[in-house]
Amino acid sequence: MKKEAKTFVSLSAGVVAGSVLAGCDLAPRYHTPVVAVPVSYVEAAHWQQAAPADGFARGAWWEIYRDPVLNGLEGRVDGANPDLQEAAAAYDQARALAAEAAAGLYPNLAIGANISANRQSNRRPLRGANEPNQYMNNGVDAQAGYEIDIWDKVANEAKAGRAAAAASAADLATVGLSLHAELASDYFTLRGLDAQADLLARTVGTYQQALTLTQNRFAGHIASDIDVARAATQLDDARAQAADIEARRALAVHAIAVLIGEPPAALSIAPAAVPVHVPALDAGLPATLLQRRPDIAAAERQVAAANAQIGVARAAFYPNISLTFIVGLQDTGLNMFTLPDSFWSIGPGLTLPLFEGGLLRARENAAVAVYRRTVAAYKATVLEAFGEVEDQLALLHWLGDEQRAEDAAAVDAGRTLSGALTLYKDGATSFLDVVTAQTAELQAERNALEIRTRQVNASVALIRALGGGWTAVDPRPS
């Protein structure tokens, strides 16, 4: 009994010594990859002052457009869009895998029982002379095991799992941001088409009056048949443009239906030629973009996960020490709950790779390569984000100038058309001048409407490029 006690004490001392050694982290010390961040956005310098605060509400950012129909549609995306549901399931999977990796930090416990009747062969090799032909083998036992994480292999696996879960959460936010932004863009495209449809409806009415005028003048032998044909051509072309707008509008409604998870035939959006509110946006300082963009956060967490995996790969070169303990009862019958039927086993186990044909070195090299690849992907994501913000700032800047010029052109074209009609009625000019003025006015007014649609879509794209008011989270595995 004293010998067994000494053995147990020796084993316990070994376990304590191993625990003291635990914590040798072989992963490189992690630092967020360094990227060059500009002091300010180039395209923002001429029309707004940079500030560190967001210029739009967090969460339901689309509410700044003050459109209740848009708000209602956006509210249906989260609960019904299948792409978002897929991303949410991927996040749940990543959290489960993180929890699975973290479970290795704790001991594992199990109990077992067995009851069996056995018969051994009379010709079994090395069978004893007094061994029975048939016997029972019944037992119950409890087992405990624990891997002493000296080299932080399990800890780094848990770190990688948590980082991957955080990256998946950011991926989910990226998908949600993209879907909401796409819906807003499709909706504003729809409203832009409604405005053009309203314009063309009024234009068709005006052209119908012009056609009636030329027909009356032709009947009075004042105008030629060519004038009538030109007026009819203008009217037919305007009707064709109106039909094209209706076709494009139908496609926009279908796209919105898919985004909210409905069949296209189930969604109907009433036409509304209402002015669209384009809010003033503040892009803030470029440095804040690194915290506001979920795709940047996802890329950075992937780097952190890859860094931890280097530690896992390096730990495979060193001894792996585990401790197991088994205690139980075993008997050839069912009356086995007595001290003589008990058994136990306790002791550490050690494995050390000696020759793997370069396998472990290859795995370490692969882990380092994955880390380098994720660092490059992170830097590319940051650069792309800065580029997207600059693009949309440039669009908003120059579209504003273009809008003012096109609005002026539409006014001038209207004055030209009014003068041409007056001269035509007075017989001072041909209907060709009227047709030319009609074409110029319609084109200028359609251009102005299209620019307004591009402006509001550029503002949506800017919000998307800025991260949509998203804030970073650090999900903990449940």
> How many other β-carbons are positioned within 10 Å of the β-carbon of residue 459?
26
Determine the Cα–Cα distance for residues 192 and 452; give it in Å rounded to an integer: 8
Spell out the residues 6+ positions from residue 344 whose beta carbon is closer than 8 angstroms to its own. Answer: 325, 326, 327, 328
Local confidence band at 403 (pLDDT 50, 70, 90 cut-offs): very high
Q: Give the rounded distance of the alpha carbon of 3 from its chain centre.
A: 63
Determine the Cα–Cα distance for residues 228 and 221; give it in Å rounded to an integer: 12
Q: Give the rounded distance of the alpha carbon of 478 from its chain centre.
A: 22
Q: Poorest-confidence range of 43-52, 455-464, 466-475?
A: 43-52
Residue 12's pLDDT is 45
Q: What would the two tokens of residue 165 be?
A: 């879960």
Local confidence band at 23 (pLDDT 50, 70, 90 cut-offs): low
Local confidence band at 45 (pLDDT 50, 70, 90 cut-offs): low
Q: Give the rounded distance of the alpha carbon of 292 from its chain centre.
A: 13
Whether the per-residue pLDDT at 238 is higher than 50: the answer is yes
Local confidence band at 32 (pLDDT 50, 70, 90 cut-offs): confident
Determine the Cα–Cα distance for residues 290 and 296; give it in Å rounded to an integer: 6
Whether the per-residue pLDDT at 6 is higher than 70: the answer is no
Looking at every residue in the chain, the average pLDDT score rounds to 87
Residue 373's pLDDT is 97
Spell out the residues 6+ positions from residue 314 whose beta carbon is closer than 8 angstroms to its own. Answer: 26, 27, 151, 364
**The tokens 């009056």 sit on which residue?**
209
Tens-digit pLDDT profile for residues 326-376:
999 888 877 777 778 888 999 899 888 988 899 999 999 999 999 999 999
- The DSSP 8-state label assigned to residue 275 in this structure reads P
**Contact (Cβ atoms closer than 8 angstroms) between residue 446 and residue 410:** no
Determine the Cα–Cα distance for residues 308 and 421; give it in Å rounded to an integer: 77
Residue 135's pLDDT is 84
Residue 478's pLDDT is 37
Q: Poorest-confidence range of 77-81, 219-223, 472-476?
A: 472-476
Q: Phi/psi at 150 (nearest 5 deg)?
A: -65, -40
Tens-digit pLDDT profile for residues 378-387:
999 999 999 9
Q: What would the two tokens of residue 88 be?
A: 């949410």
Whether the per-residue pLDDT at 161 is higher than 90: the answer is yes
Whether the per-residue pLDDT at 2 is higher than 60: the answer is no
Residue 298's pLDDT is 93
Percent of the chain whose predicted confidence (pLDDT) is above 90: 62
Whether the per-residue pLDDT at 395 is higher than 70: the answer is yes
Percent of the chain whose predicted confidence (pLDDT) is above 70: 90
Tens-digit pLDDT profile for residues 87-123:
999 999 999 999 989 988 889 999 999 999 988 888 7
Give the SS3 label for residue 190.
helix
Q: Please list the alpha-helical segments (H only) found in 220-325.
A: 225-259, 289-292, 294-315
String of b and e for 348-357 (b: at least 16 CB within 10 Å)?
Answer: eeeeeeeeee
Residue 415's pLDDT is 95
Give the SS3 label for residue 424.
helix
> How many other β-carbons are positioned within 10 Å of the β-carbon of residue 180?
24
> How many other β-carbons are positioned within 10 Å of the β-carbon of residue 249?
20
Residue 67's pLDDT is 93
Return the higher-pLDDT residue of 260 and 39: 260
Give the SS3 label for residue 325.
strand
- pTM of this prediction? 0.83
Domain 23-109+152-318+363-465 CATH (choose: 1.10.10.10, 1.20.1600.10, 3.40.50.2300, 3.20.20.70): 1.20.1600.10
Residue 236's pLDDT is 97
Whether the per-residue pLDDT at 7 is higher than 80: the answer is no
Whether the per-residue pLDDT at 389 is higher than 60: the answer is yes
Residue 436's pLDDT is 94
Mean pLDDT of 119-144: 86
